[in-house]
Amino acid sequence: MIEKTFFQVLKERRSIRSFKTTAIDDTMIEKIIGACDSCPSAGGLQSFEVYRIKNKEMKDEIVRASMDQEFIAESPLLLVFCANSTSPGKYGKKARLFSIQDATIAASYAQLTACALGLSSVWVGAFNEEKVSTILGLPENIIPIALLPIGYKDEEPQVKTTRGPHGIFHELQ
Protein backbone atom coordinates (compact mmCIF):
# COMPACT_ATOMS: atom_id res chain seq x y z
CA MET A 1 0.00 0.00 0.00
CA ILE A 2 1.38 3.37 -1.06
CA GLU A 3 1.27 6.17 1.47
CA LYS A 4 2.20 9.71 0.44
CA THR A 5 3.03 12.75 2.51
CA PHE A 6 0.41 15.43 3.01
CA PHE A 7 2.10 17.85 0.62
CA GLN A 8 2.54 15.14 -2.03
CA VAL A 9 -1.20 14.50 -1.81
CA LEU A 10 -2.00 18.19 -2.25
CA LYS A 11 0.27 18.39 -5.28
CA GLU A 12 -0.72 15.10 -6.93
CA ARG A 13 -4.49 14.83 -6.34
CA ARG A 14 -6.43 15.12 -9.57
CA SER A 15 -9.97 14.38 -10.70
CA ILE A 16 -9.99 11.00 -12.43
CA ARG A 17 -13.00 9.73 -14.38
CA SER A 18 -11.62 6.44 -15.69
CA PHE A 19 -10.91 3.61 -13.28
CA LYS A 20 -9.42 0.14 -13.50
CA THR A 21 -11.69 -2.68 -12.37
CA THR A 22 -9.19 -3.68 -9.66
CA ALA A 23 -10.94 -4.12 -6.31
CA ILE A 24 -9.90 -1.89 -3.43
CA ASP A 25 -8.57 -3.67 -0.37
CA ASP A 26 -10.84 -3.48 2.69
CA THR A 27 -7.96 -2.08 4.75
CA MET A 28 -7.78 0.91 2.41
CA ILE A 29 -11.54 1.45 2.61
CA GLU A 30 -11.32 1.34 6.40
CA LYS A 31 -8.60 4.02 6.30
CA ILE A 32 -10.78 6.23 4.11
CA ILE A 33 -13.77 5.84 6.42
CA GLY A 34 -11.50 6.35 9.44
CA ALA A 35 -10.37 9.67 7.97
CA CYS A 36 -14.01 10.73 7.66
CA ASP A 37 -14.60 9.80 11.28
CA SER A 38 -11.67 11.95 12.40
CA CYS A 39 -12.47 15.02 10.30
CA PRO A 40 -13.50 18.29 11.93
CA SER A 41 -17.21 18.99 12.27
CA ALA A 42 -19.34 21.77 13.70
CA GLY A 43 -19.39 21.34 17.46
CA GLY A 44 -18.02 17.82 17.03
CA LEU A 45 -21.55 16.66 16.12
CA GLN A 46 -20.54 14.75 12.95
CA SER A 47 -23.82 15.73 11.31
CA PHE A 48 -23.10 13.72 8.16
CA GLU A 49 -23.61 10.17 6.90
CA VAL A 50 -21.52 8.18 4.40
CA TYR A 51 -23.08 5.43 2.27
CA ARG A 52 -21.09 2.82 0.36
CA ILE A 53 -22.98 1.72 -2.74
CA LYS A 54 -22.21 -1.87 -3.75
CA ASN A 55 -25.39 -2.77 -5.64
CA LYS A 56 -24.83 -2.53 -9.42
CA GLU A 57 -28.45 -1.68 -10.22
CA MET A 58 -28.38 1.09 -7.65
CA LYS A 59 -25.13 2.44 -9.13
CA ASP A 60 -26.73 2.42 -12.60
CA GLU A 61 -29.73 4.37 -11.28
CA ILE A 62 -27.38 6.89 -9.67
CA VAL A 63 -25.65 7.32 -13.05
CA ARG A 64 -29.01 8.21 -14.62
CA ALA A 65 -29.66 10.69 -11.79
CA SER A 66 -26.19 12.18 -12.37
CA MET A 67 -26.39 13.38 -15.96
CA ASP A 68 -25.37 9.91 -17.24
CA GLN A 69 -21.81 10.12 -15.91
CA GLU A 70 -20.96 6.44 -16.54
CA PHE A 71 -17.67 6.50 -14.63
CA ILE A 72 -19.70 6.63 -11.42
CA ALA A 73 -20.89 3.04 -11.92
CA GLU A 74 -17.52 1.91 -13.25
CA SER A 75 -15.60 2.84 -10.11
CA PRO A 76 -14.84 -0.03 -7.72
CA LEU A 77 -15.89 2.11 -4.74
CA LEU A 78 -18.72 4.62 -4.68
CA LEU A 79 -19.34 6.68 -1.57
CA VAL A 80 -22.27 9.06 -1.14
CA PHE A 81 -21.79 11.82 1.41
CA CYS A 82 -24.93 13.20 3.00
CA ALA A 83 -25.80 15.99 5.40
CA ASN A 84 -27.80 14.90 8.43
CA SER A 85 -29.89 17.92 9.34
CA THR A 86 -31.42 16.35 12.46
CA SER A 87 -28.48 16.95 14.76
CA PRO A 88 -28.97 20.67 15.44
CA GLY A 89 -27.36 20.70 18.85
CA LYS A 90 -26.83 24.27 19.89
CA TYR A 91 -26.94 25.62 16.33
CA GLY A 92 -30.69 25.85 15.70
CA LYS A 93 -31.45 27.25 12.23
CA LYS A 94 -27.80 27.07 11.17
CA ALA A 95 -27.75 23.30 11.75
CA ARG A 96 -28.64 22.54 8.10
CA LEU A 97 -25.80 24.71 6.81
CA PHE A 98 -23.35 23.17 9.27
CA SER A 99 -24.43 19.64 8.31
CA ILE A 100 -23.71 20.45 4.65
CA GLN A 101 -20.29 21.79 5.64
CA ASP A 102 -19.64 18.65 7.73
CA ALA A 103 -20.50 16.35 4.81
CA THR A 104 -18.29 18.42 2.51
CA ILE A 105 -15.33 18.24 4.90
CA ALA A 106 -15.79 14.47 5.28
CA ALA A 107 -15.83 14.00 1.50
CA SER A 108 -12.67 16.10 1.18
CA TYR A 109 -10.92 14.00 3.82
CA ALA A 110 -11.98 10.83 1.97
CA GLN A 111 -10.66 12.20 -1.31
CA LEU A 112 -7.31 13.22 0.17
CA THR A 113 -6.94 9.91 2.03
CA ALA A 114 -7.68 7.96 -1.15
CA CYS A 115 -4.90 9.89 -2.91
CA ALA A 116 -2.50 9.26 -0.02
CA LEU A 117 -3.16 5.53 -0.46
CA GLY A 118 -2.42 5.60 -4.20
CA LEU A 119 -6.07 5.71 -5.27
CA SER A 120 -7.85 8.26 -7.42
CA SER A 121 -11.27 9.86 -7.21
CA VAL A 122 -13.48 12.59 -8.55
CA TRP A 123 -15.90 14.83 -6.69
CA VAL A 124 -19.35 14.63 -8.31
CA GLY A 125 -21.78 17.37 -7.41
CA ALA A 126 -23.82 17.29 -10.63
CA PHE A 127 -26.72 15.05 -9.66
CA ASN A 128 -30.40 15.27 -8.84
CA GLU A 129 -30.57 15.23 -5.02
CA GLU A 130 -34.19 14.11 -4.89
CA LYS A 131 -33.61 11.20 -7.28
CA VAL A 132 -30.49 10.03 -5.44
CA SER A 133 -32.37 10.27 -2.14
CA THR A 134 -35.16 8.12 -3.57
CA ILE A 135 -32.72 5.57 -5.02
CA LEU A 136 -31.00 5.21 -1.66
CA GLY A 137 -34.26 5.27 0.30
CA LEU A 138 -33.06 8.14 2.47
CA PRO A 139 -35.29 9.87 5.01
CA GLU A 140 -36.09 13.54 4.44
CA ASN A 141 -33.47 14.79 6.90
CA ILE A 142 -30.57 13.03 5.09
CA ILE A 143 -29.49 15.09 2.06
CA PRO A 144 -26.99 13.85 -0.57
CA ILE A 145 -24.19 16.40 -0.96
CA ALA A 146 -21.46 14.66 -2.97
CA LEU A 147 -20.78 11.42 -4.82
CA LEU A 148 -17.22 10.15 -4.63
CA PRO A 149 -16.22 7.41 -7.08
CA ILE A 150 -12.86 5.96 -6.01
CA GLY A 151 -10.48 3.51 -7.68
CA TYR A 152 -7.14 2.96 -9.36
CA LYS A 153 -6.73 5.42 -12.21
CA ASP A 154 -6.97 4.19 -15.78
CA GLU A 155 -6.00 7.52 -17.32
CA GLU A 156 -3.29 10.10 -16.86
CA PRO A 157 -4.62 13.27 -15.32
CA GLN A 158 -4.46 16.56 -17.15
CA VAL A 159 -2.10 19.24 -15.97
CA LYS A 160 -3.83 21.15 -13.21
CA THR A 161 -4.26 24.86 -13.82
CA THR A 162 -5.27 27.06 -10.93
CA ARG A 163 -5.55 30.75 -10.19
CA GLY A 164 -2.44 30.38 -8.05
CA PRO A 165 -2.03 31.37 -4.41
CA HIS A 166 -2.02 35.09 -5.21
CA GLY A 167 -5.21 34.71 -7.23
CA ILE A 168 -7.22 33.30 -4.33
CA PHE A 169 -5.64 34.92 -1.30
CA HIS A 170 -6.57 38.43 -0.24
CA GLU A 171 -5.17 40.35 2.68
CA LEU A 172 -7.26 43.13 4.15
CA GLN A 173 -5.77 45.78 6.41
Range of the domain at 88: 15-152
Within a domain: residue 76?
A: yes
Within a domain: residue 94?
A: yes
Per-residue pLDDT tens digits for 52-107: 999 999 999 999 999 999 999 999 999 999 999 886 667 777 888 999 999 999 99
Within a domain: residue 5?
A: no
Q: How far apart are CA 137 and CA 154, in angstroms?
A: 32
- Beta-carbon count within 10 A of 53 CB: 21
Domain count, the chain: 1
Within a domain: residue 2?
A: no
User: Is 58 in a helix, a strand, or coil?
Assistant: helix
Within a domain: residue 9?
A: no
Radius of gyration of the chain (CA): 17
DSSP string, 93-152: GGHHHHHHHHHHHHHHHHHHHHHHTT-EE--B--S-HHHHHHHHT--TTEEEEEEEEEE-
Per-residue pLDDT tens digits for 23-59: 999 999 999 999 999 999 988 889 999 999 999 999 9
Half-sphere exposure of 13 (CA within 13 A, CB side): 21
Within a domain: residue 86?
A: yes
Distances (CA, A) of 121 to 17, 46, 71, 170: 7, 23, 10, 30
The residue among 139 and 18 whose pLDDT is bigger is 139
The reported pTM is 0.91
Question: Which CATH number characterizes residue 144's domain?
Answer: 3.40.109.10
Q: How far apart are CA 11 and CA 27, in angstroms?
A: 24
Within a domain: residue 161?
A: no
Q: How many angstroms separate the first and last alpha carbons of the chain? A: 47
Q: How far apart are CA 161 and CA 164, in angstroms?
A: 8
- Beta-carbon count within 10 A of 116 CB: 22
Within a domain: residue 67?
A: yes
